[in-house]
Amino acid sequence: MLVSKICVSNNRTLSFSNSKDTKSESFLDKFHSGVKNSADMTDTIIVPRTIFKGYLGIMTGTTLVTLGGLVNKTKNPKLFKGTMAAGLLTSLYGTWAFVRPFIIKDAKGVDTGK
Distance in angstroms (rounded) separating the CA atoms of residues 5 and 15: 8
Q: Note the pLDDT of residue 93.
A: 94
Give the torsion through C-alpha atoms of 12, 13, 16, 21, to 10 deg: -40
* Model confidence at 34: pLDDT above 90: no
* Total-model pTM: 0.53
The pLDDT tens digits of the residues spanning 62-109 come to 999 999 988 877 788 899 999 999 999 999 999 998 888 777 766 565
pLDDT at 12 over 90: no
* Residue 39 near residue 64, CB atoms below 8 Å: no
